[in-house]
Structure 1
Amino acid sequence: MTVAVSGTVGLRDVARRLDQLGSLFALHLTPMAHWTWVFVKGGRTISETAIVQGYYAPHHAHFILPLSYLTTPPTSFSKNQQLQQQRWQYCEAHGAMGGLCDEDTPDPLPVPPPPPVAQQWALDGVPVVVTAGNRHQYLYHTLTTLLTTPGAQHNNILVALGDAPQPTTQLLRLLNITFTKLVVHGKDNNKLFRYYRSVFQYVARTFPDAPAVIILDEDVQVSPDFFSYMSQTLWLLYHDPTLYCVNGYSATGFQGISHDPKTLLRANVQVEWGFAVTLGFVKEVISRWPSDPSETDTLFYDEWLYKHGSKGRECVFPEISRTIHYGIGVNSEAWSTEMYFLFKPMVREAHVYLDNVNRMLQRPWEEHFSRSIKEATPLTGNPCSDTFVPSINTATNFVFYYRVNKKPDGQLDYRNFLYAATCLNAWGVSEQGLHQKVLTVRVSMLATLYLVGAPYSPYAHFRPRHIRPWVYDLVSDEDDKIIMKRIAEIQIGKYKILNWNVTSDSLMDLLSVTN
């Protein structure tokens, strides 16, 4: 078992279990530790080494390990006996494969087809493209959840490989998944930018007559309701030119502020983990997608689509997410993954019937939005206060106006929004997730709060004259302390880092006393 760099941030309660299994170091690793533990299953440590400080430090462990031969788990005679033998041959060479290599209750191969969804016809002709590379453990988890989700069609799933190492291609052959290899060059984000351009080009060439395509990455887990959700919302893309994507991931649905699996929202947001776009949009952006990454102002393909491809169009997304982004890669690290992604609420049941899908069309949505804000009860005061939103027992809309200023370069300054949104445990890092500079926050199942940016939001004219837009710089010292405490609590989260200042010397002293 090896954990490197920021991986120890995510051990959490598992560290206690590893300690019970015999690890000396598991409970004492710093957030940036490198750790290797070799042990016999069931007990007895063979080797355990750690570098507790050193982000880029090389980590070497040397030991002599005599290996015994493990017999292949027995398989009853059947027409897929050869497939089972291939499974165990794969498992002999690769670890951390979850249910694929569980000797007692292995995942069934081939994967049984799941039941259809109510509007299965809406998914006909819509390919599902999974982008992948050399993280075959991630890919297996993603594909098995995808293949077992109601509405999934095995033959409609294709994996587009940017890197195609043997473990990945072997796994896809084992699962009988169609895949293609795309030739890409570069490194890190430069390479990824070229890769996703190749993915879009491949989709346009291979599925020119498809109405839409669903795309997700190899480190995205889908909800049991994923295809049901897509089957009920895809038609919006065909009928509303002011939309460019349907996201399975919720831009605003964080812990404590997502309550209703039947509710949809729309806003300015980039394509996110598990999304659908039309083939018309695919072809449109290909014509403008630069082949040389140096010709663009961002190397993040999703940000590029948002800034240069959306042309002001919005996306539809659920209040409670239908996907979770669980992986660590080039553009993700442990702190933000812990804070925003791993514990994102996700719908855990299938066949959720969505409310008011028609309302996502531009005109009905804007009429609903205007009416909701106009009739909402204005709130003032400190958005980080425990009493900011009154307790209610009936469905109620609230509105909070915050000041939006202009920077010297003419860009809008969302500093006041950042503080207000963060107080409510909402996404405040950027303006994404806002509809016309308004963020919708479901404070509870009964209470909806609209954060309206004044004066630049078209909905700001509903502000009563006696209500002044909130400005962080004008809060009292007492309120500022409340805000800073609340933000610190959110950023630190429920996990406290006790081993931050551990050194090799202090660890050796601790172990010598313990022993």
Structure 2
Amino acid sequence: MHIPYRARALVWSSCGGWGLEVDGCNNTQQQDCYNPLVRYSLQLPPEDTPPHPSREGEGLTLTVLNQRNAAVVFHKVFPLGQYWAHYADLQWHMDRVASGRVVVITVAVSGTVGLRQAAHQLAQLGSLFALHLTPMAHWTWVFVKGGRTISETVILRGVAQHHAHLLLPLSDLPSPTQSSNQSLQQQRWQYCQLHGAMGGLCDEHSPDPLPPPSPPTLAHQSALANVPVVVTAGARHQYLYHTLNTLLAAPGAQRSNVLVVLGDAPQPTTQLLRLINVNFTQVPVHGKDNFKLFRYYRSVFQLVARTFPDAPAVIFLDEDVEVSPDFFSFMSQTLWLLREDPTLYCINGFSISGYEGRAFKKSQLFRGSVQVQWGYAVALDFVREALASWEQATSNTMLYDFWLYMNIRKLRECVFPEVSRTRHFGIGINTIPYLKEAVIRMPLQIEAPIALQEVSVLKIQSWQKYISQEITEATVLTGNPCRDSFLPSPATARTYVFYYQLNILPGWGNTPNYFQYHVVVQCLGLWSLSEQGHHRGVSVVRFSLNSTLYLVGVPYSFYSNLQQPGNTPWNIDTLTDQQLDQMGRYSHNKYSKRDHITNINVTSDYIMQIMANG
């Protein structure tokens, strides 16, 4: 069938839903012709109009069309009626839409409150209104990525449904498939005719090389020789391609060691893996949401135990985790610790302490009580140990990594870097947008390879000696940690120590009091929503390139005996409710780093003035 070079399109947006319809009939054909190429919509019943709790399908819709035949190659709704984090996911996908694609953006019910920095990206792509949308605006924008706007409409206030009727230009340039005589390249462009937001894979002007070149080897390459890299994946092939791209480009990567384990295995994912020549297999999945994921990861562990019984360790990575170029160098220098030190159970590429403003030294390592996180290695003995209990576990609410931490870890610790070697960029069913904010800003080690500092000191006896010496030589800080003057500025000493009251939580074994721990570390910008991150009651705060603060929880900490005579630990339990409230506001204002909604007072007169002066 001949596809016309122009198609009629209808786009609409309102508080009751949104819609996109593309008709392949052109204006030279008869009026009764109707050839629906695209039909997408969400229409709420009249009684469901806002305000109501946000539901699936509401937000900012991103639909990408093949520029030659108007077929939908990507569609996703970003719940930007919520303020936190989803804007970064929109930016991530928009960056990976290839130039020349036709892009349709609309507001479905509510979707501009959380636009935030993504508004600047959209403005750079040509939007007139993105920087000026009110929180309840309704908006449609149709444009060619890297080209021109076809249509843009907006209603800043009110609840009226509005429609945009337009002629959609389609490209008559030949597809790269027609000009390629190489089988692999033909497969690439056939895949790209059907799938969008794939980044360099489908960039017709500067495509990623296929097959990808082999990365350089490492000085400690032999440490990785028999270590499988297991990537857990499903239906999110856009995420997976980026993850595998960074993984296989990292120095030290060995394609033959990489195995993608699929739960849900839709055709686009398996086609992608065949195209880029990455080994994959599938395990059965059952259930829904966390119950499904809990059983899926158990199946992955079972597969690893069967397939790699003699491996010295296994590296696990999720489909939405970007690795640093230094990832394999980091692993090659630290994996031996799992064999040498029974008080360790994992090597984490992700840094639980390396948030923005808390990561300075790329060669520094720590150890502490944390769960396995995004991009980690464990020994096969730990895999088998987990499976011995996992077979009987039926949790349908607990996340698998937290279950391992609570039930299998048994007071063992993990090694992690000061500057993270992985970044969790994706958003899934367990993403809490507010908590995702800190992860978005986390620095990732870019240089590679990095020679790590005194790795052998991470062994428990050496580490205890090292921490004891650091605390003994440190300058003591006192007073309320929730005040700007608490941390010395400029710092006059290399190390500082702060003693605070931290008791064992009654009835929870050796678990420290969550509340006492939470308040102190929150004041100083560390992870505070669980007691994870400390080493035997000592948390490390890096607050400048050359200064470190050790938080020692007394009497819980193994290092409590180092407290100088006459020094009384700071005690949160002695504060009044008013003082606690002031501390909460301090940490929220200092570390949540809200971005102001600068367009909240925009009026229609203001928009008309901008357009008149443009």
Q: Give the structure-1-normalised TM-score.
A: 0.89
Deviation at 1:362, TM superposition (A): 1.1
Q: Does structure 1 residue 219 correspond to structure 2 residue 320?
A: yes
Q: Does structure 1 residue 322 correspond to structure 2 residue 426?
A: no
Distance in 2, Cα, partners of 1:33 & 1:458 = 56
Q: Contact 2:177–2:185 (CA<8 Å) still a contact in 1? A: no
Aligned residue for 2:544, secondary structure, equals coil
Distance in 2, Cα, partners of 1:92 & 1:270 = 41
Where do 1:188-337 residues align within 5 Å?
Answer: 188-290=289-391, 293-294=394-395, 298-337=397-436
Q: Which residue, out of 506, 515, 519, partners 1:419? A: 519
What one-letter code is carried by the residue in structure 2 that aligns with 1:27? L
Where do 1:443-458 residues align within 5 Å?
Answer: 443-458=543-558
Q: 1:373 to 1:489 in 2, by over 3 A?
A: same
Q: Does structure 1 residue 71 correspond to structure 2 residue 174?
A: yes
What one-letter code is carried by the residue in structure 1 that aligns with 2:520? A
Q: Contact 1:49–1:61 (CA<8 Å) still a contact in 2? A: no
Gaps of 5+ in 1: none
What one-letter code is carried by the residue in structure 1 that aligns with 2:325? P
Distance in 2, Cα, partners of 1:198 & 1:300 = 14
Q: 1:113 to 1:358 in 2, by over 3 A?
A: same
Q: Deviation string for 1:420-476 (max 9, x for gaps)?
A: 212221112211011111111112222111111111112112112322211235458
Distance in 2, Cα, partners of 1:36 & 1:331 = 30
Q: Does structure 1 residue 40 correspond to structure 2 residue 144?
A: yes
Decide which moves more: 259-268 or 474-483: 474-483
Distance in 2, Cα, partners of 1:38 & 1:137 = 22
Deviation at 1:35, TM superposition (A): 7.0
Percentage of identical aligned residues: 54
Q: Deviation string for 1:279-307 (max 9, x for gaps)?
A: 1111111111045534x7x5200001111
Deviation at 1:16, TM superposition (A): 2.4
Distance in 2, Cα, partners of 1:414 & 1:404 = 9
Deviation at 1:342, TM superposition (A): 1.1
Q: 1:389 to 1:283 in 2, by over 3 A?
A: same
Instruction: Find the counterpart in structure 1 of residue 502 from structure 2.
Output: 404
Instruction: Find the counterpart in structure 2 of residue 386 from structure 1.
Output: 484
| Larger CA Rg, structure 1 vs 2 | 2
What one-letter code is carried by the residue in structure 2 that aligns with 1:73? P
Instruction: Find the counterpart in structure 1 of residue 48 from structure 2.
Output: none
Aligned residue for 2:532, secondary structure, equals coil
Q: 1:74 to 1:169 in 2, by over 3 A?
A: closer
Higher strand proportion (structure 1 or 2):
2
Q: 1:9 to 1:44 in 2, by over 3 A?
A: closer
Distance in 2, Cα, partners of 1:484 & 1:393 = 25
Distance in 2, Cα, partners of 1:248 & 1:395 = 30
Decide which moves more: 366-375 or 127-136: 366-375
Gaps of 5+ in 2: 1-61, 64-76, 89-114
Instruction: Find the counterpart in structure 2 of residue 489 from structure 1.
Output: 589
Q: Which residue, out of 219, 232, 251, partners 1:118? A: 219
Instruction: Find the counterpart in structure 1 of residue 79 from structure 2.
Output: 5
Q: Contact 1:9–1:31 (CA<8 Å) still a contact in 2? A: no
Q: Does structure 1 residue 356 correspond to structure 2 residue 462?
A: no
Deviation at 1:486, TM superposition (A): 3.1
Distance in 1, Cα, partners of 2:134 & 2:212 = 40
Q: Which residue, out of 115, 118, 127, partners 1:14? A: 118
Q: Give the structure-2-normalised TM-score.
A: 0.75
Instruction: Find the counterpart in structure 1 of residue 100 from structure 2.
Output: none
Q: 1:145 to 1:492 in 2, by over 3 A?
A: same
Distance in 2, Cα, partners of 1:51 & 1:267 = 51
Higher relative contact order (CA 8 A, sep 6+): 1
Distance in 2, Cα, partners of 1:141 & 1:373 = 42
Q: Deviation string for 1:332-362 (max 9, x for gaps)?
A: 1332222x21111121111100111111111
Q: 1:393 to 1:406 in 2, by over 3 A?
A: closer
Q: Does structure 1 residue 156 correspond to structure 2 residue 276?
A: no
Aligned residue for 2:550, secondary structure, equals strand
Q: Contact 1:5–1:32 (CA<8 Å) still a contact in 2? A: no
Q: Contact 2:494–2:548 (CA<8 Å) still a contact in 1? A: yes
Where do 1:178-197 residues align within 5 Å?
Answer: 178-197=279-298
Higher helix proportion (structure 1 or 2):
1
Instruction: Find the counterpart in structure 2 of residue 345 from structure 1.
Output: 443
What one-letter code is carried by the residue in structure 2 that aligns with 1:308? N
Distance in 2, Cα, partners of 1:431 & 1:286 = 25
Q: Contact 2:273–2:279 (CA<8 Å) still a contact in 1? A: yes
Q: Contact 1:252–1:427 (CA<8 Å) still a contact in 2? A: yes
Distance in 2, Cα, partners of 1:155 & 1:424 = 43
Q: Contact 2:248–2:255 (CA<8 Å) still a contact in 1? A: yes
Distance in 1, Cα, partners of 2:253 & 2:465 = 35
Q: 1:479 to 1:256 in 2, by over 3 A?
A: farther
Distance in 2, Cα, partners of 1:497 & 1:319 = 33
Distance in 2, Cα, partners of 1:194 & 1:384 = 42
Q: Contact 1:8–1:32 (CA<8 Å) still a contact in 2? A: no
Q: 1:176 to 1:471 in 2, by over 3 A?
A: same
Q: Deviation string for 1:17-40 (max 9, x for gaps)?
A: 423544355335578999764323
Instruction: Find the counterpart in structure 1 of residue 29 from structure 2.
Output: none
Q: CA RMSD in A?
A: 3.2
